[in-house]
């Protein structure tokens, strides 16, 4: 199966990855080869098989609704301080909605 350039561009946009033209070509080839290999799974009938997304058997692990993990202000400074644009203790981003 060959992925078209349009499909690659669509996936790259969903994944928020900027790709060059050469990279689009390369990933189209790579991904097609790997996807072909995945076809192997179609040899198995899984009609009556439940999916397994985790193997611990644990479910509904909750903690008390309280501040159990206080973070000291110095750490907050160090965390926020790694953002490229900030204002006080806030991370600044470009607007999502543009007029």
Token pair, residue 26, equals 């390369």
Q: Restricting to residues 61-80, name those near another protein by CB under 8 A.
A: 61, 63, 68-69, 75, 78-79
Encoding tokens for residue 13?
């946009």
Report the distance separating Cα 91 and Cα 78, nearest Å: 12
Dihedral sign, Cα of residue 12, residue 15, residue 18, residue 20: negative
Exactly one of 1, 21, 22, 49 binds another protein (CB under 8 A); that residue is 49
Separation between Cα atoms, residue 28 and residue 22, nearest integer Å: 10
In angstroms, what is the minimal distance from the CB of 95 to another protein? 7
Cβ 88 to another protein shortest distance, Å: 15
11 contacts another protein (rule: CB under 8 A): yes
Continuous segment of H or E residues that includes residue 25: helix 21-38
Contacts with another protein, residue ranges (CB under 8 A) = 3, 7-8, 11-19, 23, 27, 30-31, 33-35, 37-38, 40-44, 46, 49-56, 58, 61, 63, 68-69, 75, 78-79, 82-85, 91, 93-96, 98
């Amino acid at each position: 199966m060959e992925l078209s350039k349009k499909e690659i561009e669509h996936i790259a946009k969903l994944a928020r990855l900027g790709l060059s033209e050469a990279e689009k070509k390369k990933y189209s080839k790579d991904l097609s080869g790997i996807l072909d290999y995945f076809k192997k799974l179609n040899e198995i009938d899984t009609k009556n098989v439940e999916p397994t997304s985790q193997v611990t058997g644990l479910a509904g692990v909750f903690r008390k609704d309280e501040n159990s993990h206080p973070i000291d202000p110095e750490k907050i400074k160090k965390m926020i301080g790694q953002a490229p644009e900030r204002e006080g203790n806030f991370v600044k981003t470009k607007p999502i909605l543009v007029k």
